[in-house]
């Protein structure tokens, strides 16, 4: 492993004087690679460090950079820095004044660039002074800018984002019909929580809840019991609500029995999506993991049930894990609970599988047909075919929803029962979901899911032919995705991350991951087959996979090492802000999560 220096982390002594505010000039050049800084291999670093060459210490910049990076290296040996940075990017860090004023390129401080002319009313976007300045990034500008300019500048800025349709990392919907988009746009200004003002939107939500609950085979024959459900921002919020309900239910039972109720735990696979870790952490529930092995990436039902004790609030089973898309054996867990007469509920995380299995695999028993399943979540914005963010959660019976969690909101005069973490939210996504449900019907969803399953099988067969080991299920026994890895017996000099990078150069986003803990740090790549991934696009991807492997095969070890460095560097500098590389270093050394502790990288979903 070699290191590229992060200029912002070098101490002040190594900062050239041109970084002071007075000498700053603004030149909107793109972020340059830090070519003037050395790349060092790990062994070079070690040998330099151990010999502490005096000649190096007389040249301050490289040695200080070396040290700061070494401490980084030490901190981060378990963590893929880039992935961590990607995860942390939403928790933004406010840059310091010095970071803001640091120039992009050293050595240009003497050059004078004159300000562009004042605007006239007829100035074109690119003839205006706005085109000659950097976009405001750190402080709100004092004055307005024309709307055409603001639109164009931001649109141009966004062109360096990836193309959503080539992003094969994500389950989240990237295509909806024009009519759906139109409908959703027309509802942008509706606040969904405002039931009184928008009663039809509220009713549309209820229609969706009912359709989804029935898709999951909710029993509706009992006159005295009404299943319940709600829309959410996504499966994460849905799962938070489900965990809260299970926790409260358990606490109430313990209180009634006069027993301690302060140490709840929840049982789940170590390959859970990060929102389960969050839910457990945020709501003070101990996480009990059933670990994957190098051969098994789903929960072991017996191990899961064996972990239960009097403090267990529930078991999570995943219908479609994010790594390999496999369905966990909910029925086996259910049957073990019945067999052992254990009163612990199952929640099924069907974020991805909830809109796939009912159409492709209707005979699979995973839903409310199993008596121990008390709640199920699904993401409307994954195979529910709606743009982000909408999710759903359904409970078998109101008795699983402790009353103290439900708020009757009297909003502008109308009473509504509400169980959500958010208050205000847009109504568009819910209306988009209703559109898809009635526009496509069961037949439409089935046609789409069948095509995706065929495409996934076709891709898997081709990748096997290219020498990859396919780790996902075929023939609709799991989600329509292909998870694969290199065959270790072929002893390639490169890894899955290198292939991912080669594909990236062609525009494809195919992520590489390190598996959940206890899997020998197994690496894998994953292609999610979404609605807009047709056979012809699949063929284009296969051709590029082939090309990527050929290119890497033709490189010798030294070249591969350089290649690795190059893409690490490129990833680290993926934001063009230039002055603000660090994303969020305050939290980059967290060690409480599975990622921080074990090097597991959370799959994008
Ligand atoms: C995507 C996903 C989540 C999180 O869902 P969001 O809708 O993105 O909040 C949770 N669990 C699984 C299995 C997922 O695939």
Provide the residue ranges of all domains of the chain, joining segments of one domain with +. 2-139, 183-435, 443-598
> Does ligand 1 have an atom closer than 6 angstroms to the CB of 337?
no
User: Does residue 426 sit in helix, strand or coil?
Assistant: strand
> Does ligand 1 have an atom closer than 6 angstroms to the CB of 264?
no
> Does ligand 1 have an atom closer than 6 angstroms to the CB of 352?
yes
601 Cβ partners below 8 Å, 6+ apart?
Answer: 80, 83, 513, 514, 595
CATH code of the region 183-435:
3.40.640.10
> Does ligand 1 have an atom closer than 6 angstroms to the CB of 62?
no
DSSP string, 567-590: HHHHHHT-STTSS---S-GGGTT-
Model confidence pTM above 0.85: no
CB 485 within 8 A of CB 496: yes
Select from 376, 347, 383 the least CA-distant residue to 217: 376
Q: Find the 51 Cα to ligand 1 centroid distance in Å.
A: 50
Q: Find the 272 Cα to ligand 1 centroid distance in Å.
A: 9
Structure tokens at 432: 């988009």
Interatomic CA distance for residues 108 and 102, integer angstroms: 12
Class of the domain covering 443-598: alpha beta
Q: What is the structure's pLDDT at 97?
A: 87
> Can the peptide bond before residue 389 be classed as cis, meaning omega within 30 degrees of 0?
yes
Mutate-to-test residue for ligand 1 from 90, 170, 172, 236, highest number of ligand atoms within 8 A of CB: 236
CB 85 within 8 A of CB 572: yes
State CA 433 to chain mean position distance.
21
> Does ligand 1 have an atom closer than 6 angstroms to the CB of 272?
no
Q: What is the structure's pLDDT at 178?
A: 97
Interatomic CA distance for residues 401 and 424, integer angstroms: 22
DSSP string, 316-331: EEEBS-TTT-BBP-HH
Q: What is the structure's pLDDT at 220?
A: 84
Q: Find the 480 Cα to ligand 1 centroid distance in Å.
A: 16
> Does ligand 1 have an atom closer than 6 angstroms to the CB of 273?
yes
Q: What is the structure's pLDDT at 573?
A: 60
Q: Find the 592 Cα to ligand 1 centroid distance in Å.
A: 20
Q: What is the structure's pLDDT at 12?
A: 40
Residue 76 phi, psi (nearest 5) = -110, 15
Q: Find the 238 Cα to ligand 1 centroid distance in Å.
A: 9
Walking along the chain (605 residues) 10 residues at a time, the average pLDDT comes out as 39 40 41 43 58 46 47 52 49 85 77 65 82 91 92 93 90 97 96 86 93 94 82 97 97 96 96 94 96 91 97 98 95 98 98 98 97 98 97 95 85 73 93 98 98 97 95 96 92 89 91 78 91 95 94 81 74 54 61 71 69
Structure tokens at 362: 């209707």
Q: What is the structure's pLDDT at 585?
A: 62
Q: What is the structure's pLDDT at 227?
A: 86
> What residues are paired with 7 via a beta bridge?
none
> Does ligand 1 have an atom closer than 6 angstroms to the CB of 529?
no
> Does ligand 1 have an atom closer than 6 angstroms to the CB of 377?
no
Select from 156, 8, 174, 2 the least CA-distant residue to 85: 8
CB 401 within 8 A of CB 414: no
| Domains 183-435 and 443-598 fall in the same CATH topology | no
> Does ligand 1 have an atom closer than 6 angstroms to the CB of 433?
no
CA dihedral angle for residue 143, residue 145, residue 147, residue 148, rounded to 10 degrees? 180
CB 432 within 8 A of CB 205: no
């Amino acid at each position: 492993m070699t290191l590229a220096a992060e200029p912002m982390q070098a101490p002040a002594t190594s900062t050239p004087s041109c970084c002071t505010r007075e000498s700053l000039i603004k030149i909107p050049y793109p972020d340059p690679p830090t070519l003037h800084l050395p790349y060092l291999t790990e062994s070079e670093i070690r040998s330099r460090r151990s010999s502490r060459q005096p000649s190096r210490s007389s040249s301050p910049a490289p040695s200080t950079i070396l040290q700061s990076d070494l401490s980084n290296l030490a901190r981060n040996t378990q963590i893929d820095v880039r992935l961590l940075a990607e995860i942390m990017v939403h928790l933004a860090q406010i840059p310091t004044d010095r970071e803001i004023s640091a120039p992009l390129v050293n050595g240009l401080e003497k050059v004078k660039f004159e300000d562009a002319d004042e605007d006239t009313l007829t100035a074109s976007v690119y003839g205006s002074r706005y085109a000659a300045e950097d976009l405001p990034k750190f402080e709100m500008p004092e004055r307005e800018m024309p709307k055409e300019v603001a639109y164009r500048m931001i649109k141009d800025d966004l062109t360096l984002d990836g193309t959503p349709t080539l992003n094969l990392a994500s389950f989240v919907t990237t295509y909806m019909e024009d009519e759906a988009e139109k409908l959703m746009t027309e509802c942008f200004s509706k606040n969904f929580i405002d039931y009184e003002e928008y009663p039809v939107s509220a009713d549309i939500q209820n229609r969706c809840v009912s359709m989804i609950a029935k898709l999951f085979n909710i029993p509706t024959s009992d006159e005295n019991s009404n299943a319940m459900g709600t829309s959410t921002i996504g499966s994460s919020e849905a799962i938070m609500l489900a965990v809260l309900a299970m926790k409260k239910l358990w606490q109430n039972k313990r209180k009634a029995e006069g027993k301690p109720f302060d140490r709840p735990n929840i049982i789940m696979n170590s390959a859970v999506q990060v929102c389960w870790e969050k839910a457990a952490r945020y709501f003070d529930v101990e996480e009990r993991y059933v670990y994957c092995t190098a051969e098994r990436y789903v929960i072991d039902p017996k191990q899961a049930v064996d972990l239960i004790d009097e403090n267990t609030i529930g078991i999570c089973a995943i219908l479609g894990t994010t790594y390999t898309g496999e369905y966990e054996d909910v029925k086996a867990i259910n049957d073990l609970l019945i067999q052992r007469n254990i009163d612990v509920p199952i929640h099924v995380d069907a974020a991805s599988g909830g809109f796939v299995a009912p159409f492709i695999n209707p005979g699979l028993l995973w839903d409310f047909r199993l008596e121990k399943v008390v709640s199920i979540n699904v993401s409307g914005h994954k195979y529910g075919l709606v743009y982000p963010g909408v999710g759903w959660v359904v409970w078998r019976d109101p008795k699983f929803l402790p009353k103290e969690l439900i708020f009757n909101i009297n909003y502008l005069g109308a009473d509504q029962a509400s169980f959500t973490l958010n208050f205000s939210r847009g109504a568009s996504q819910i209306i988009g979901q209703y559109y898809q449900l009635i526009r496509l019907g069961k037949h439409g969803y089935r046609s789409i899911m069948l095509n995706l399953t065929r495409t996934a099988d076709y891709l898997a067969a081709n990748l096997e032919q290219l020498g990859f080991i396919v780790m996902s299920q075929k023939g609709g026994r799991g989600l329509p995705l292909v998870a694969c890895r290199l065959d270790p017996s072929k002893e390639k000099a490169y890894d899955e991350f290198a292939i991912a990078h080669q594909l990236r150069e062609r525009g494809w986003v195919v992520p590489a991951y390190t598996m959940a803990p206890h899997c020998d740090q197994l690496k894998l790549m994953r292609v999610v087959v979404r609605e807009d991934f047709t056979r012809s696009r699949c063929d284009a991807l296969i051709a590029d996979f082939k090309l990527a492997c050929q290119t890497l095969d033709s490189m010798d070890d030294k070249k591969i090492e350089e290649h690795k460095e190059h893409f690490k560097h490129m990833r680290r500098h993926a934001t063009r802000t230039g002055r603000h590389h660090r994303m969020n270093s305050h939290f980059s050394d967290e060690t409480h999560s599975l990622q921080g502790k074990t090097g597991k990288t959370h799959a994008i979903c």
